[in-house]
Amino acid sequence: MIPVQGLQGARVAVLGLGRSGLSAARALAAGGAVPLCWDDNPAARSKAEAEGLCVQDLHHPSAFEDIARLIVSPGIPHLYPTPNAIIATAQMAGVPVDNDIGLFFQSFATGAWASFDTAPRVVAITGSNGKSTTSALIHHILTEAGRDSQLAGNIGRGVLDIDPPEDGGVVVLELSSYQTDLARSLTPDVAVFTNLSPDHLDRHAGMGGYFAAKRRLFAEGGPDRAVIGVDEPEGRFLAGQLAEGPTDDRVIRISVAAKLAGPGWNIFARKGFLSEYRKGKQVASIDLRSVKGLPGAHNHQNACAAFAACRSLGLAPRVIEAAFHSFGGLPHRSQLIAEAGGVAYVNDSKATNVDSAVKALEAFQNIRWICGGLQKEGGLGPLNAVSGAVRKAYVIGREAAAFAVQLDAEAQVCGTMAQAVEAAIVDAEQGDTVLLAPAAASFDQYDSFEKRGDDFVAEVRARLGLDPVETV
């Protein structure tokens, strides 16, 4: 646990008692603060009370008298589309609003560091797509290289639940726009921006607000090194704002869309090869085509980001390359779950928006595509532009018919995962890939994209006669 510093003796309100809220309350108490916890869900309040935490109704008009700070869980809106009523009351009372990420950066460094040879460092990753894979890949590379590394934030452990870092330790944080938007302290040593595409637009009042939330990690965080994906205008703009000039190697530009020229520090992947250039000269190259855990251009972008972050931490290219080959990928993210009869079955349930589904479709050939769910803004046009490899789509979700009519590819309305998997297996031929890449949220049928992916895995394995962990 990372005990919260700077709030000893203070009364601190905690709104939302999920993983991050309970973690924050524990860390506040460990640091000598007095957490006052609330969640509108009675079961969540009961869980907090069972841990000995004080539960207090924050709806009460006097709730924010003598409160030093309000800590908010990421799922609770603080500005758009409408501020939560409790947050609005705190803001009217002049109480600062923060989250567990802000508490972490406020409390990470301790006096114990004075005896360390090498101060611990934080690598923070944000962006629209690829955050989880990039974060896990960086953590994997560091671990394989023998470096003390912990993975936290949106992936792994809660950020305040990690162990105090050891001498030279590295904490790898995946951070969403919800987290970077609200955190009062943001001071990573290395910050990574993977890419930007429309997502969570209602929460940020449009693309400008969404980008601004991501940008805070760099503009207010002041990292020593910034790894910036420059395949979108926002990334190019951000890199330009952070660099003092073309030769400023504090900014590492990455791309999978173009060969990056110039005198700075550039890393790009083209035709399956990752290249590192410094001062206009190539200094490293890696063949990514045989790295099974990183299929497709979108994963090659993740590889570039992870390579750049690890190079900035002093790792050699060949050490990173070896770790690439031992990386097994993440569940629900281009996850190969089975191979049978010459057909591959891939679970990319994390492809919850059109952009991430486009990247999944570009990674495979001869696709039997399972898609559909709670459609997001923007339409499905970009999917049709890359659907040439789709042999047939099998559409699930409550609005499967409306989803299907927007597709150029042949589409069968299935409704349920069970029906879609059965139909895809019946149709599949040797050389095909049955791919779950929904291009939509899961909440019309599932509690989360993980539950949706688990259902796909279970249906595939049941119909192939495999046990829950066996592959053939």
Domain-located, residue 317: yes
Summarised one tens digit per residue, pLDDT across range 139-190 is 999 999 999 999 999 887 899 999 999 999 999 999 999 999 999 999 999 9
Judge whether 225 and 312 are in contact, CB under 8 Å: yes
Q: How far apart are CA 248 and CA 168, in angstroms?
A: 26
Mean pLDDT value across residues 309-333: 94
How much is the pLDDT for 336? 86
**pLDDT exceeds cutoff 80 at 51:** yes
Pair 161, 260 in one domain: yes
How much is the pLDDT for 186? 95
- In the chain, what percentage of residues exceed pLDDT 90? 86
Pair 292, 340 in one domain: no
How much is the pLDDT for 471? 41
Pair 316, 398 in one domain: no
Domain-located, residue 471: no
Domain residue limits at 250: 109-325
Look at 74-78, 115-119, 318-322, 403-407 and tell me which has the smallest mean pLDDT. Answer: 74-78
Pair 352, 300 in one domain: no
Pair 340, 375 in one domain: yes
Pair 115, 60 in one domain: no
Q: How far apart are CA 2 and CA 158, in angstroms?
A: 10
Pair 342, 447 in one domain: yes
Pair 275, 150 in one domain: yes
Alpha carbon of 252 to those of 175, 198, 248, 324, 448: distances in Å?
19, 24, 9, 20, 34
Domain-located, residue 160: yes
| Binding site per annotation, positions | 127-133
How much is the pLDDT for 374? 92
Residue 294: name the closest of 330, 252, 254 by CA. 330
Supply the CATH number for residue 357's domain: 3.90.190.20
pTM summary value: 0.85
How much is the pLDDT for 468? 66
Question: pLDDT grade, residue 220 (50/70/90)?
Answer: confident
Q: Which of 72, 98, 124 marks a domain boundary?
A: 98
Pair 51, 137 in one domain: no
| Binding site per annotation, positions for ATP | 127-133
CA terminus-to-terminus distance, the chain? 41
Q: How far apart are CA 443 and CA 445, in angstroms?
A: 5
Question: pLDDT grade, residue 270 (50/70/90)?
Answer: very high
Supply the CATH number for residue 227's domain: 3.40.1190.10
How much is the pLDDT for 111? 92
Residue 53: name the closest of 33, 25, 30, 17 by CA. 25
Domain-located, residue 85: yes
Supply the CATH number for residue 56's domain: 3.40.50.720
Pair 320, 348 in one domain: no
Mean pLDDT value across residues 28-39: 97
Summarised one tens digit per residue, pLDDT across range 371-426 is 999 998 778 999 999 999 999 999 999 999 999 999 999 999 999 999 999 999 99
Roughly what angle, to the nearest 10 degrees, separates helices 19-30 and 100-107? Answer: 30
How much is the pLDDT for 472? 38
Tally of structural domains, the chain: 3
Phi, psi of 267, rounded to the nearest 5 degrees: -135, 125
Q: How far apart are CA 246 and CA 240, in angstroms?
A: 9
Domain-located, residue 1: no
Domain-located, residue 470: no
CA dihedral 308, 330, 393, 297 (to 10 degrees): 20
- In the chain, what percentage of residues exceed pLDDT 70? 99
Domain-located, residue 3: no
Q: Which of 47, 70, 98 marks a domain boundary?
A: 98
**pLDDT exceeds cutoff 60 at 469:** no
Pair 339, 256 in one domain: no
Domain-located, residue 4: no
Alpha carbon of 276 to those of 73, 215, 264, 307, 363: distances in Å?
39, 25, 11, 9, 23
Per-position DSSP letters for 357-384, written without gaps between them: HHHHHHT-SSEEEEE-SB--TT-SHHHH
Judge whether 300 and 269 are in contact, CB under 8 Å: yes
Q: Which of 303, 325, 347 marks a domain boundary?
A: 325
Pair 154, 16 in one domain: no
